[in-house]
Amino acid sequence: MMDVKQLLREMGFRFNKQFGQNFLTDENLLNNICSDAEVDGGTVLEIGAGAGTLTRVLSKRADNVIAFEIDRNLEKVLNVTLADCNNVKVVMGDVMRYKMPELEALCGGNYRVVANIPYYLTSPLIMRFVEEASNVTSLTLTIQKEVAERLAAKPSTKDYGAITVAVNAVADVEITRVLPRDLFYPQPNVDSAVVRIDFKRDKFDILNAQLFRKTVKASFAMRRKTLVNNLAVGFGISKQQAEEILLACNLPVGCRGEELSVEQFVQLYNTIENLGLK
């Protein structure tokens, strides 16, 4: 691979902090990330191509790569670094401005997302794929280590929260590697991790996704409060009714949301749904 740092300097590129530009240049590492994602043919959607270092590696292993990049100043860099990558389509623009059906139409069928994403986009981007995508099979994302730990957290730990449950209800989550901050250029002030999110949409029967989300959100709304209190506030019901819901789920009346496994959240949601609560 060419010396990307030198190329960026030669082309007078200025890093834009606002876009979360922390690039990866180590080819071995980039290959390892593609192996974590099990890229072997197929279509890959990359969000944030940067200088095209990951894009190049993806292009060797995938059939097609669709790579978004918001920063117009990187267009001329990408024209150089991806000049010989004929299976890459670069889309200059803000990925968040695309509706999910538009994004999926660009991919044209099943696809994987492999990306080193800007920190500011992590939760909104993951939640968009969790809530709205139909054809995505997995997300392999380089993200802030603390966020990766939250996604992979177990019940009754401080990292376990609403996002953990939302993602694990439709996917399996695994941290595949930790990346110290000095692997990035320029160096950010946090460490990162690669997290793989494998979608299994039929893991649980959740017909009313909106109500499931509301149940989870309400359960974690006030972490110091018991689940009974949180459900009473969240659904506008009496504490007694909230207690009855917990009893129907075989949950101790004094428990807190963070103690429930994803299975138990699904059971809680089913009970709430059967009662006709909204």
By CB under 6 A, tell whether 34 contacts ligand SAM: no
Q: Does 21 bind ligand SAM (CB under 6 A)?
A: yes
| Angstrom distance (rounded) from CA 83 to CA 28 | 21
Pick the closer one to ligand SAM by CB: 68 or 269: 68
Segment contacting ligand SAM (CB under 6 A): 50-58, 103-111, 206-214, 253-261? 50-58
Which residue in 8, 22, 81, 152 binds ligand SAM (CB under 6 A)? 22
Q: Does 48 bind ligand SAM (CB under 6 A)?
A: yes
What is the nearest approach in angstroms of ligand SAM to the Cβ of residue 166?
21
20 sits in the region (left: phi over 0; alpha: psi -120 to 50; else beta) called left
Residue 233 CB neighbour total at 10 angstroms: 15
Q: Angle at Cα 19 formed by Cα 5 and Cα 52, nearest 5°? A: 40
With binding defined as CB under 6 A, does residue 11 bind ligand SAM? no
The distance of closest approach from Cβ of residue 199 to ligand SAM in the complex, given in angstroms and rounded to an integer, is 21
Residue 47 interacting with ligand SAM (CB under 6 A): yes
CB within 8 A of 181, min separation 6: which ones? 187, 188, 189, 190, 191, 192
- Within the chain, residue ranges assigned H as helices are 4-10, 27-36, 53-61, 75-81, 100-107, 122-132, 145-151, 162-168, 209-220, 227-235, 239-248, 262-274
Residue (114 or 216) nearer to ligand SAM, CB: 114
Cβ at position 194, least distance to ligand SAM in Å: 11
| Least CB distance to ligand SAM at residue 33 (A) | 9
